[in-house]
Chains A and B, each alone.
Chain A
Amino acid sequence: MAAVQDGQLNMEVEKDIKTEITNDGSGNINANSSSPGSTSSGGKSKSPAGSGEDQQTLLAVLQFLKRNKLTESVDILRREAGLSADADDSPVSDSAGAGSGGVPNVSADGGDANSLLSRVSIATPSIETSSGFGCGSGGRACRLQCGEDQPDVNVVLSAYSQQGDPVLYPLYYNGLKKFIESVLDCHRAELSQVFYPLFVHMYLELVYNNHENEAKQFFEKFSGDQECYYEEDLRILSSMSKKEHMKGNETMLDFRTSKFVLRISRDSYQLLKRHLQERQNNQIWNIIQEHLYIDIFDGMPRSKSQIDAMSGSLAGEGKRDANKAKVFYGLLKEPEIEVPLDDEDEEAENEEGKPKKKKPKKDSMGSKSKKQDPNAPQQTRIPLPELKDSDKLDKIMNMKEATKKIRLSPDNLPSICFYSFLNAYQGLTAVDFTDDSSLIAGGFADSTVRVWSVTPKKLRRVKSAADLSNIDKESDDVLERIMDEKTASESKILYGHSGPVYGISFSPDRNYLLSSSEDGTVRLWSLQTFTCLVGYKGHNYPVWDTQFSPYGYYFISGGHDRVARLWATDHYQPLRMFAGHLADITCTLFHPNSNYVATGSADRTIRLWDVLTGNCVRILTGHKGPIHSLAFSPNGKFMASGATDGRVLLWDVGHGLMVGELKGHSDTIYALKFSRDGEILASGSMDNTVKLWDTLKAFDDVELDDFTAATGHIHLPENSQELLLGTYMTKSTPVIHLHFTRRNLLLAAGAYNP
């Protein structure tokens, strides 16, 4: 039933997008004009409790209100929904409770049942659609906004109420430890994975049952044994020593609501099972049964290094079947554009053209005449905006530039031009370059956004409406005439946010700029008028990152509320909500073909989401710290990610596999970028360095046989030093953004910190 409904909802949303886009074909952005009044109407159309699911949702809401003694609102809601008084007495299942969308988050204005309902009904479809993966993801989606009094917290916690003798816990744990230390080497590494989740759950059980001292002792005794990459979580755990603390602690709820996923070979699992059954060690067995998800595979047990490479995330590894879905990682076909070639350019084209023919594989730009890539999504898989004339002009420019591109290789490293922000005492928090490298935007901690022109062409505003009416609209240079010469300057400041600006992104056509801020909004700025066009409200908490789709129109944002939202510029509400991360979403990125979105999170996982279905199609684990940067290779096949642990990991998107690890940085990596041909990866870090890596070699070195592709157990080559092509220190300037120009010149940016 639910599945069918999901499908319908998807269709609806999809249709929605399509109609909107046809409207957009005229080139108007009407986001501004849409009035807030339509929110409730949109909500209402769905809200009347017709379907079973909505009914359930309603019941959940009612129950919640009741529990919080908001009797008045209960009555109002009941009247509005036409429900009988006894309906809400029926037990609401856990899942329904979980499905109750943004309920806790609106508890403050619970009196307004209408708005509440509309929110629920809007939130529900996207949450449900995204529940194809993992377990209880829907629950997490709502819980993430949880305040102190979360309806399902008690349900969640009660699982810990089973009583065991607190004194025996260390004994149990020790017994298991001894057993695992005594097994054969090949199994030991695998079974050792059990320690951490067991430790956490045993500790939480002790805390929940008010055995405070035992819990502390238990923690002190065994916390030292845990892998060092769990340090952060252990610190949070250690601060939690009372049952009361468990309520509202997000990390704790993550442990509880999501099963910790372990991958263990069948043999090792049998060993463990037999041991626990022999010893009648029910306590541990129960925990394993209830809180752990053991993904058993047939075949050789993995080695310690293999396990270490993949582990480290908040909730264990991704399940193998979570990465099975097909991902169309190919690029979309470039539209055919007649390139008017001058004679000079033609010569250049020919000279450059010869080597291209020899190595057609490497060529990503000249793919216009090629056939459809089998790995590419359908051209119309998601509706994309039509090309405007100006876009075509830009494409032509792009191609011309591309012919003058420097071919990079380990022997031919790019030059790096560093843009230092001087006197940025207020704190530079985000930087972006336009694709043609003509503009730089900086987001600052003092809530301002500043745009610079780095070409001699100054920034000009469009004239005011009164002046515009005086312009001769028939003249050839009308585009020139509408600009106000008096406002020409090298930089412009955009005021509007009320908190530090953490994310910033130019639209591909350079007409718009997006910025996301601590104040919970994403703002769309016009670079013609230098004013704010729309403030997208949806995230209630700081929005850490936002990014435009490579084709414009869509954008993605993600923040502290753990939900990534997909927006279209002319909709004030998100088209998709991607829920599933267990901690803040720290960075967001569109796939080059715009069909997928990657998000990196503080739960130390990267997820890849399908824009069309809203499903999570990849869960990539292996980082040991919050992920702060992502980059797709230009051919869409590979991805790189950088985290606070100073490592860059390389991923094969198609197979969902880690294919490389680049060690070298000593601090958080805030910037990653592939060169235009994907031969070189540049990484910029808080440790004031830019490093260049040989990615061609990195991807070549990986042997992908069928077995590894099937199991995902990969031997990482230990070659990151060979792959390092260069290290360039800056003068106490952390590198927070990198960009390759169309001619493969590397631009870097950061604030000088004297």
Chain B
Amino acid sequence: MAEERRPKQCTVVLPTESMKAMAESIGVGQLQEESCAALSEEVSYRIKEIAQDALKFMHHGKRCKLTTSDIDYALKLKNVEPLYGFQSQEFIPFRFASGGGRELHFYEEKEVDLSDIINTPLPRVPLDVSLKAHWLSIEGVQPAIPENPPPAPKEQQKTESTEPLKAVKPGQEEEGSTQKGQGATSAEAKGKKDGLMRMKPRSTHELSVEQQLYYKEITEACVGSCEAKRAEALQSIATDPGLYQMLPRFSTFISEGVRVNVVQNNLALLIYLMRMVKALMDNPTLYLEKYLHELIPAVVTCIVSKQLCLRPDVDNHWALRDFAARLMAQSCKTFSTTTNNIQSRITKTFTKVYNNCWLDDKTQWTTRYGCIAGLSELGPDVIKTLILPRLTVEGARIKAVSDGPVVSNIDKIGADHVQNLLLKHCASVIAKACPLPDNVEQYRADYGYLGPMLCSHVVKARAQAALQAQQVNRTTLTITQPRPTLTVSQSGIGGSGGSRTPSIIKVPSSLTLMSTRPGTPTQPSPPATKYIVMATSSGSSSTQQVLWTAVLLFLFSLKYLDTPTHSRLFIFTIFYIVE
């Protein structure tokens, strides 16, 4: 009963034009303005009445979605023949279309070929209702089984990690109550009885025997030799909802693993561990914020470490660096807040190393590569401000290695990789930022040794962009053709059916009926309201039934009159439904 939930009591009335249109549709022409006004009020009132009754059926049906059958039953209550044939598979059967600056929602009625229906094989019989029992709670503790939701929802993990003080403060038990009942209730209750000052409930990290077994299996599979097993284990980490309890263990496992394996230059294991990090981050039920202090150093190590493998000249440790850099960028995106400043701190770390290697020629190419990769993954802005200014220096250094005397094969490979990396990331940024034309000399002046190569890359990038743009243009062209066919997409209201909305349809700001001619996109567009086009094939002809027909038509029918020259759309936003 929160105050803000209170919607404005609105007195929406259907426009009189719609009454006229409805009357015409059942053969009553020349309805007077006053009768239209009277009718529209009456119709609006009846619709609201029916909607309110329909809600009752929804509540008793133990649902939070209003369905067409609810409306049928509500009509039945009023002794009105229900509307037949409006059972719909989808929650809201309306399609969305836009064209000529208008947004429309209409009822899609496909022509169905009977022979198709007859010839299609019968669909499988739907499964029958069945009963399944599971333990929701065992002596007050909810077991972590697939039938139950994950023990700690992500939001809670998030609030716990971002606002730890809120739940802890003693004397504020009421606020901390969101955590109550999550297992350790009885212990808490005891603590309270003793009148002790209650600190944050000590979270027990004892794992059950099953969990210990699971942990052992998973970690062994992740770093083991069987690739199929590893894939399964990673899949489990990425999807299992019950890992919250084990998260600290996994985190420690990864950080320790990286520490050991970097020293031993065990590239394969490092890759496996990074894949574990990726899987953990992909798990929708986990919020890693609390464990970043262990995970980030491990990831950064895999990006910038001087040596990650035994044979740097042969092994592809560059891929690991790229992968880890991407992980880093992802965690920056997900977890960076104003309080922890992960993004800026990471950026600083990379630039510091980078600055050092700028000053110091002796820095390994591997580290340099890692820094650049890490920075470039953070986005075009970072590239623009931190990498572009250094291209000249970097170019000179690459030149020195490639042109100079052969120092070592390793350096040469490193320089090659750095060069490719720089070209790849910088070209797209420059293509967007710099004006045409691409002058090789200009590039050489700006970026030194790398200039010419950069130039050719930029040209390529531009060509690709142009190709894409062309395709986009072509699609827009179809829309502006003189006789547009309405492009139909399932979006807007029709698409939002999946979300849990308590009422059927969003409340429009006003109810409008308008008739328009498609093909004249220049017509001024109406105020930004959502429309639903209603159509039906025919209505009843009795004039006395104008009222009910109108009500019924307005409820769920659809009107689409087509004449050779122009068609008319009766547009109508469905009535305002409570909540």
Contact = CB atoms under 8 A, between A and B. Distances in A.
Contacts of B135: 415-418
A442 B63 contact: no
Interface centre among A427, A445, A491, A692 (most CB of B within 10 A): A445
In this complex, the interface size class of chain B, counting residues with CB under 8 Å from chain A, is 35 or more
B139 interface: yes
Given A421-B131, A422-B130, A541 B77 contact: yes
Contact of B11 (A239, A584, A691, A725): A239
Interface string B140-179: 1010000111000000000000000000000001100100
13 contacts: A235-B9, A411-B186, A417-B133, A422-B131, A427-B62, A502-B61, A518-B73, A586-B60, A724-B181, A726-B137, A730-B136, A730-B148, A730-B149
B132 A721 contact: no
A644 B56 CA distance: 11
A484 to B, nearest CB: 22
Nearest to A239: B48
Interface string A200-233: 0000000000000000100110010000110110
B41 interface: yes
A725 B148 contact: no
A668 B147 CA distance: 23
B137 A241 contact: no
Q: Which of A440, A450, A725 has the most CB of B within 10 A?
A: A725
A560 interface: yes
A418 B62 contact: no
Contact of A413 (B2, B139, B180, B182): B139
B11 A241 contact: yes
B45 A410 contact: no
Nearest to A147: B79
A249 B48 CA distance: 12
Contacts of A504: none
A656 B180 CA distance: 32
Interface string A398-441: 00000000000011111111111111111111000000000010
Interface string A548-578: 0000000000001000000000000000000
A415 B138 contact: yes
Interface stretch (B104-112, B121-129, B196-204, B312-320): B121-129
Contacts of B177: 721, 724
Nearest to B69: A445
Interface in B305-357: none
Interface string B187-214: 0011010000000000000000000000
Nearest to B73: A518
A709 B566 CA distance: 76
A228 B134 contact: no
Contacts of A423: 126-130
A722 B131 CA distance: 35
Chain A CB count within 10 A is highest, among B62, B142, B174, for B62
Interface of A: 147, 216, 219-220, 223, 228-229, 231-232, 234-236, 238-242, 244-245, 249, 410-429, 440, 442, 444-445, 450, 452, 454, 491, 499-500, 502, 518, 541-542, 544, 560, 584, 586, 602, 624, 626, 628, 644-645, 667-668, 670, 686, 690-692, 721-722, 724-731, 734, 736, 748, 751
Interface in B4-33: 5-6, 9-11
Contact of B77 (A425, A502, A560, A602): A560
A722 B195 CA distance: 13
Contact of A440 (B42, B131, B137): B131
B64 interface: yes
B480 interface: no
Nearest to A560: B77
Count chain B CB atoms within 10 A of each CB in A411, A412, A499, A691 and give the residue with the most. Answer: A411
A726 B136 contact: no
Contacts of A645: 1
A644 to B, nearest CB: 7
Interface class of chain A by DSSP: mixed
Contacts, number: 183
**Which of the listed residues A240, A418, A442, A502 has the most CB atoms from chain B within 10 Å of its own CB?**
A418
B59 A413 contact: no
Contacts of B529: none
Contacts of B388: none
Given A238-B11, A668-B59, A729 B149 contact: yes
Contacts of A731: 147-149
Given A411-B190, A413-B185, A499-B73, A724 B136 contact: no
B3 interface: yes
Nearest to B190: A411
Most A CB contacts (10 A, CB to CB) among B140, B180, B182 go to B140
Nearest to B179: A727
Given A722-B192, A728-B142, 9 more contacts: A220-B9, A228-B3, A419-B132, A421-B131, A450-B129, A500-B73, A668-B59, A692-B181, A748-B136
Contacts of B247: none
Given A412-B139, A413-B186, A420-B132, A729 B148 contact: yes
Q: Which 3 A-B pairs have the closest CB atoms?
A: A413-B140, A727-B181, A416-B136
Contact of A415 (B42, B48, B79, B137): B137
A584 B56 contact: yes
A102 B57 CA distance: 24
B29 to A, nearest CB: 25
Nearest to A718: B174
Contacts of A223: 9
B175 to A, nearest CB: 9
B52 interface: yes
Contact of A725 (B142, B173, B189): B189
Contact of A721 (B1, B137, B139, B173): B173
B49 interface: yes
A751 B11 CA distance: 37
Contacts of B139: 412-415
A500 B56 CA distance: 13
Contact of B136 (A428, A544, A668, A690): A690
A422 B63 contact: no
B150 to A, nearest CB: 9
Contacts of A228: 1-3, 5-6
A440 B173 CA distance: 39
Given A410-B186, A420-B134, A686 B129 contact: no
A628 B60 CA distance: 8
Contacts of A236: 52
Contacts of B59: 626, 628, 644, 668
B133 A454 contact: yes
Contact of A500 (B5, B11, B61, B148): B61
Contacts of A229: 1
Given A228-B6, A724-B181, A731-B148, A544 B62 contact: no
B5 to A, nearest CB: 8
Contacts of B48: 239
A502 B1 contact: no
Interface in B398-444: none
Contacts of B189: 410-411, 725
A422 B129 contact: yes
Contacts of A245: 45
Contacts of A541: 77
Contacts of A544: 60
A239 B126 contact: no
Contacts of A670: 62
A726 B185 contact: yes
B546 to A, nearest CB: 16
Contacts of B131: 419-422, 440, 452, 454, 491
A246 to B, nearest CB: 11
Nearest to A734: B62
A416 B11 CA distance: 47
Interface string B31-47: 00000000001101100
Interface in B232-260: none
A110 B346 CA distance: 86
